[in-house]
Amino acid sequence: MKKVKTLPKFDRPREKMERKGVKALSNLELLAVLLGSGIKDKGVFEVARDILKLAQDDFDNISLEKLKDIEGVGLAKASQIIAAIEFSKRFLMKDGVKIKNAEDVVKLTEELKDKKQEYFLTLTMDGASNLIQKRMVFIGTLNQSLVHPRDVFADAISDRAAGIVFVHNHPSGDVEPSKQDIALTTRLIEAGKIAGIEVIDHIIVSKDGYYSFQAKGDAKN
């Protein structure tokens, strides 16, 4: 793979961006711009290629630790990439994403359908049902002791959210709520009342469909 210095100046990522605009760059070139440079025996495009593979394999779980495991990526470069991802997510989430029903939530959490573990996410919203933030709160088997209302509502309070939706997946494919799911939902609804944040719904998703507590009349504030 060619190094940036061996490319004609007009075809280098930064110069290409200046000349043609950011949309003209490939994913690999965008990463090369973020990285700035490679290391002695590994060019910036080679480092970018390894990062791109990580992103393609498991984008939702990219972390500083996983990036730092890539040869040529230290703390500084890993931090730049994570910061860029988070920055873009915050603005994309706030840019006109409105949640009107359970189907909208399912579309926003499609990545959960094929997960082999249970993931618990929250979606916070303003009073006009615009999405403020989507967060992964917990990974593992759900029960009341592990998913604590304090952890669930702390960020929602910080967001000044008016409402919140909970989403988790069932790797088995069966979306019917368990006794633990029902007990947890009841507990979180009560905590929402105390926090002054409306629990709009709790949705269970799987590769075979979804279950909405609100639609079934099981989410009552």
Residue 79 in tokens: 């931090």
Q: How far is 169 from 165, CA to CA, in rounded Å?
A: 14
Of 28-32, 124-128, 146-150, 176-180, least confident by mean pLDDT is 146-150
| Proportion of the chain above pLDDT 70, given as a percent | 87
With residue 205 as reference, give the H or E element that holds it.
strand 198-206
* Mean pLDDT (whole number) for 140-145: 58
pLDDT at 9 over 50: no
CATH tag for 102-212 (out of 3.40.190.10, 3.50.50.60, 3.40.140.10, 3.30.70.1060): 3.40.140.10
Backbone angles phi, psi at 152, to 5 degrees: -70, -40
> Can you give the pLDDT at residue 6?
47
- Are the beta carbons of 158 and 195 closer than 8 angstroms? no
**Amino acid in position 115:** K
pLDDT at 171 over 80: yes
pLDDT at 8 over 60: no
pLDDT at 24 over 70: yes
> Can you give the pLDDT at residue 4?
46
Identify the DSSP state of 6.
G
